[in-house]
Structure 1
Amino acid sequence: MSAEPQEGAGPQRDVVPPVDPTGTETAPLDVVVVTGLSGSGKNTAGRVLEDLGFYVVDNLPPALLQPMVELGARGDLRRFAAIVDVRSRAFSSDLQESIEALASAGHRPRVLYVHARDEVLVRRYESNRREHPLQGSGRLADGIAAERALLTGIAGDADLWVDTSDLNVHQLRATLENAFAREGHAPPLTATVLSFGFKYGLPLDADLVVDARFLPNPHWVPELRPRTGQDPAVRDFVLGQDDAGPFVDRYLDVLRLLLPGYRREGKRYLTLAVGCTGGKHRSVAIAEEFARRLAADGVQAVAQHRDLGRE
């Protein structure tokens, strides 16, 4: 994803929501706090939320989060999003306290944590010739490391992690729309089935990892080698193996056991990572099949392919 690390240029409103000065009761708001690493795409995420009907404020100090939400709740807002990051100094503990206060007041705060790999962040900053907000007189890598350390607490409490390292803006939009476009107080669990190649490393945000390397590799079939797991011939080859059907069936049985428990525990987002050697054939076909079968079971499921085309 080619996200610009211009964290000050994101969505913002200059006109505050209309307020009834005589009102004392506030209705609960759907609140999304967008935070994460500088240069990871928080402003792009904010623009997507704005398109989904959220009132979005950029670079909001944590201390102003609750007053802004209460102000909006007294008006006609029902969906509010704030981009909060290290530009507000010493923000981490203040942000966690503000989120807890919102929940205690009856609002529905969720934290969206946007991040990317270090080498991706470095490349984005170098391409835009901008300075990291925590870089100071040191190196860019020092600023990124300091920010990761500062964000440890809030990252662990996030409701949704989005790694934009290998996402373009359209894939990021699809991910956020899948997570936030629904109305209602209790959104259903959303599943992302992510194919990947083990030789490129495990996805950092995977909740469950499935290894498809036990299946015969289409790479060794000359007519299938240049194709991908989205090609019908490769898909039929992978899913037509004797072990493939029972494997998918039994793992779906495991998921059907897990998903109700995840919902009871308040988990709303699940990333199921399916890996093969290079992320081109087996994992792609299996991930597509998992997503299709989960959708047939009524789960909000989308297939994404991290390493497709990477070779």
Structure 2
Amino acid sequence: MADTAGEFLIVTGMSGAGRSTVANALEDLDWYVVDNLPPQMLRPLLDLSGRLGEQLPRVAAVVDVRGRDLFAELPAAAQAVRERSDLRVIFLDASDEVLVRRFEAVRRPHPLQGDGTLLDGIRREREVLAAVRENADVIIDTSRYNIHQLANHVTDLLQDDGAPRHRVTVLSFGFKYGLPPDADLVADMRFLPNPFWVDELRDLTGQDAAVAAYVRGQEGAEEFLDGYASALAPVLAGYQRENKSHSTVAVGCTGGKHRSVAMAHALAERLADLPGVAVRVRHRDLGRE
């Protein structure tokens, strides 16, 4: 089983230093994330990963002092996992001042605070975590990061080379059926002549070569595609910087059958050339009467 186990990651560190943000970023990168796992469960989780193989190729466990006395076993459990897998330990830290400010903002007590002050809990946690921090593979000081910057840092650290950082859905639709409620951006193709009024094209769709050629051959079609793709380039780059992992670009015409379908495919071809972007095309209203 050890031979088939994939990548294994332990996320730990100070309470308030951003473990939840890192866990969310890992899920966006298709890691299987288990939160608040007792250290004693690390080896069974590794066994499960080995049995499932490609179904769980990358597993991350968030382990922290919420486990109270159980946490003391983390160094030994991590070493046992390290001997059987490609293990990395990420330790998240922040200054006392920042941690106090973050706890006060959410109005929650520190897990080790007890009857003492917030700073008492933070100092106690530093003592408990000292050995774990010393043996971590990566230490990230999150004091100056907001949640988006921290997620971006983790993405840069763990993302495979060449893997997309932003996924775009180019969605064709028909205005007569309403705007897509999940659209981030909407483009209107009704400035182009409608193939519906061309007898030999009426029963075809924008997925047919004849319709696509007709639509893209109209005055302004290619100019629009070039200009809109250029305008979207800095937007999609900005989404990546802000750690927005998905967006929907809606392309509409009257019925969602001809113009929007053809132009959605053409736009997707251009967007697929942008760095860090993966594109898929969907047709919401194709096939509706």
Class of the TM-score when normalised by the shorter of the 2 chains: 0.5 to 0.7
Letter in 2 for 1:42: R
User: Is 2:103–2:109's contact at 8 Å kept on the other side of the alignment?
Assistant: yes
The CA deviation string for residues 52-71 of structure 1, in whole angstroms up to 9 with x for no partner, is: 11100000000001101211
Deviation at 1:168, TM superposition (A): 1.3
TM-superposed CA distance for 1:103, in Å, is 2.0
Cα RMSD, aligned residues only? 1.5
Q: Which runs of 5+ in 1 are unaligned?
A: 1-23, 184-311
Match of 2:137 in 1: 159
Consecutive aligned runs of 4 or more in structure 1 exceeding 6 Å deviation: none
Deviation at 1:25, TM superposition (A): 7.0
**AA at the equivalent of 1:38:** S
| Cα distance in 2 between the residues matched to 1:125 and 1:77 | 34
CA distance in 2, matches of 1:119, 1:25: 42
Retained in 2: the 8 A contact 1:25–1:74?
no
Q: Matches of residues 14-163 of structure 1 in structure 2 within 5 Å?
A: 27-75=4-52, 76-105=55-84, 107-163=85-141
CA distance in 2, matches of 1:58, 1:109: 17
User: Which residue of 2 is the match for residue 173 of structure 1?
Assistant: 151
**Bigger helix fraction:** 2
Pick the structure with greater CA Rg.
2
1: CA distance, partners of 2:38 / 2:80 = 15
Distance verdict in 2 for CA 1:25–1:176, change over 3 Å: closer
Between the two proteins, what is the percent identity of the paired residues?
A: 43
Deviations 1:59-106 (A, max 9, x none): 00000011012112211211000000001123454111111111222x
8 Å contact from structure 2 (residues 2, 47) kept in 1: no
**TM (normalized to structure 1)?**
0.49
Partner of 2:167: none
Residue type at the aligned position of 1:73: G
Contact 2:38 2:71 in 1 (8 A): no
Equivalent residue letter for 2:26: L
Please show how residues 263-274 of structure 1 align to structure 2 within 5 Å: none
Unaligned runs of 5+ in 2: 162-289
Name the structure 2 match of 1:233.
none
Query: Is the CA contact 2:5–2:49 (under 8 Å) kept in the aligned structure 1?
Result: no
Report the Cα offset of residue 170 of structure 1: 1.9
Letter in 2 for 1:94: E
User: What does residue 260 of structure 2 align with?
Assistant: none
Q: What do the CA deviations read for 1:251-295 (whole angstroms, capped 9, x no partner)?
A: xxxxxxxxxxxxxxxxxxxxxxxxxxxxxxxxxxxxxxxxxxxxx
